[in-house]
A and B are shown apart, each in its own frame.
Chain A
Amino acid sequence: MDRGYLMRDHTADMAIELWAPSELDLLVQGARAVVDLLTRGASVHGADTREVQLSCVDAEDRLVCWLNEVLWLALSEGFLAHDARISLGERELRATVIGEAGAREKIASEIKSVTYHDLWLEHASDGWRARVVIDV
């Protein structure tokens, strides 16, 4: 399986579909999708880093919490993620997030939060797929 993401229509909100060969890749794709949505597709560069540590109840919760953390970095200090080195424990996530710091002016769209609604995460033989609804 290759990797990527796609924006899907949802009447009041926006859904993103993610696919990747591994869960780690999938989480990176999710971060890129959130930043893409926030910036309305602006290019994001930079090699600044931020450390993130999360606890969660399961893999679905981990995906939502991670994407909300990416959102928080963007909203709180204008840090736009484009990559991450992630390690996973059973109920935790640690990451070095790589991105562009101080880029608040690139944020062109509001995201309230990444939701648990209609959340779907699947580990198939050829890789991982997920769908996440975002409240915009």
Chain B
Amino acid sequence: MRVKIEKLDEYRWQIPREGKMRVPGLLFASEAMVEDLRKDKSLEQVANVATLPGILGRSMAMADVHWGYGFPIGGVAAFDEDEGVLSPGGVGYDINCGVRLVRSNLRREQIAGRLEELSLAVHRAVPSGVGSQGHRKLDDRELHQVLEQGAGWAVRNGYGETADLEVMEEGGCMRGADPSAVSDRARERGRPQLGSLGSGNHFCEIGHVAEVYDEEAAAAFGLEAGGVTILLHTGSRGLGYQVCDDHLRMMIRASSRYGIDLPDRQLCAAPLGSPEAKQYFSAMACAVNFAFANRQVLTHLVREAFERFFNRSAVDLGLGLVYDVCHNIAKWEEHEVGGIKKRVCVHRKGATRAFGPGHPDVPARYRRTGQPVIVPGDMGRYSFVLAGTGRAMQESWGSSCHGAGRRLSRKAAMSVARGRALFRELQDRGIWVRSDSKATVAEEIPEAYKDAAEVVDVMDGAGLARKVARLEPMVVVKG
């Protein structure tokens, strides 16, 4: 299907309403990005989302959009409380896949000569790889508590500090979680995996602040040029995948029952007030909480590794959590619709919440700057820290991009990597990569991703988020 696209300005493109689309599509991209997007089905997916009942405003795609399944990755859509639907395909399999940023008092020079040993220490501390398991298998009662309490469970059980909870989306615990909505299979997949990174694009990265664009916001986030940082990217592991899978099956039947016309079965959905949607939401919230707890336990393991390595306490090292953001989630939020404040259900699939200054859901310490928006790039170049804006509240349901976005398939990336000494290449650039799988590193080569700088420039140019700092990697542990 050839999707029409019209340029609105330097960073905005509209997909006009046609066929069964209920609203237009809106893409944030540069001219060069649009040329690339015409080659795959991303734009068709934006148009498909626009056909779902009760969609409000526009079906949106952030600058890191790429072809996913059902919703595009980088897709954002909000639905009316009475007329709208909830779609597991609008959240994705890795529910609450997300990223968190930890700052430190360490300077780049203090670790630059010790990267080989530091990378080994972090790799040893962080369970990673295909099917990786955490250091603690949860019993039934513990798993129930994790699903209900999220990161709060981890903190109460010695993994981190209460202060960490203040700087997580939802305070690290999503309301509405009901463990009885989570299947035995999902529990079995998740039970051994709390405190594990997984594989694929998940990582733990030690880096430094290479450039500061906004001194005031950077200071509020605890970042300064040359300071050492830690990024952690992972999600709800097998538990989340299974929750999505279980409910897709249910929603396929529900879509037919409620007469929802689907251009792609992966978009199957049920009315927000229906028992099916309520059940999915309860289970999804459990997976969201599992992911929050997972990142919290991993943060604790990394802090411990740093304490051992530097023989100093985490407090002395200043290992404070800056923020934790969700990438794949559906949430009830209050937004202005036609000048009236309304409760809407926002789906973000491969997108980040980017609430602006003054919003009550932004932690008090960031209320002047807007929430931190953490945008990981690839392992060879850089990542970015942005701040949410008031404009994002008006234009994109308070959302921005979540990463660089893939440009090569895994197979194509393997082909580009063939015959190259990737670990050595990256070491020559001052980056020590550790992984149990050479194949994963090949699939994740820097060339597999778009340039994150181009992506954040579009978001900054469109006013959806403001550039605060650029981070560059020094140690990367891949799954």
Residue B68 CB within 8 A of the other chain: yes
Q: Given contacts A12-B73, A76-B189, A112-B241, are A107 and B200 in contact (CB under 8 A)?
A: no
- Describe A's contact surface by its main secondary structure: loop
- Report the separation of the CA atoms of residues A103 and B202 in the bound assembly, to the nearest whole angstrom: 25
**What 0/1 pattern do residues 99 to 112 of B give for CB contact below 8 A with A?**
00000000000000
Q: Given contacts A116-B268, A117-B265, A118-B264, are A10 and B256 in contact (CB under 8 A)?
A: no
Which residues, 151 to 210 on B, are CB-close (under 8 Å) to A?
A: 185, 188-189, 198-200
Inter-subunit contact A107/B131 (CB<8 Å): yes
From the candidates B69, B244, B408, name the one contacting A133 in the complex (CB within 8 A): B69
Q: Give the interface centre of A104, A107, A110 by most chain B CB atoms within 10 Å.
A: A110
- Report the separation of the CA atoms of residues A116 and B354 in the bound assembly, to the nearest whole angstrom: 30
Residue B253 CB within 8 A of the other chain: yes
Task: Write out the residue numbers on chain B whose beta carbons fall within 8 Å of the beta carbon of A75.
Answer: 131, 189, 238
Inter-subunit contact A9/B245 (CB<8 Å): no
- Report the separation of the CA atoms of residues A41 and B67 in the bound assembly, to the nearest whole angstrom: 26
Task: Write out the residue numbers on chain B whose beta carbons fall within 8 Å of the beta carbon of A14.
Answer: 409-411
Task: Write out the residue numbers on chain A whose beta carbons fall within 8 Å of the beta carbon of B94.
Answer: 112
Residue B248 CB within 8 A of the other chain: yes
Inter-subunit contact B245/A7 (CB<8 Å): no
Inter-subunit contact B241/A40 (CB<8 Å): no
- Report the separation of the CA atoms of residues A133 and B66 in the bound assembly, to the nearest whole angstrom: 15
**What 0/1 pattern do residues 419 to 450 of B give for CB contact below 8 A with A?**
00000000000000000010100000000000
Q: Give the interface centre of A12, A68, A72, A109 by most chain B CB atoms within 10 Å.
A: A12
**Cβ distance A71 to chain B, nearest Cβ, rounded Å:** 9
Task: Write out the residue numbers on chain B whose beta carbons fall within 8 Å of the beta carbon of A10.
Answer: 67, 409
Number of interface residues of B (CB under 8 A): 43
- Report the separation of the CA atoms of residues A118 and B160 in the bound assembly, to the nearest whole angstrom: 43
Residue B93 CB within 8 A of the other chain: yes
Inter-subunit contact B188/A76 (CB<8 Å): yes
Contact surface of B with A, Cβ cutoff 8 Å:
40-41, 66-70, 73, 89, 92-94, 130-131, 185, 188-189, 198-200, 238, 241, 244-245, 248-249, 252-253, 256, 264-266, 268, 406-412, 437, 439, 479
Contact surface of A with B, Cβ cutoff 8 Å:
7, 9-14, 40, 57, 60-61, 65, 68, 72, 75-76, 104, 107-110, 112-113, 115-119, 133, 135-136
Q: Which 4 A-B pairs have the closest CB atoms?
A: A117-B69, A116-B265, A117-B266, A9-B409
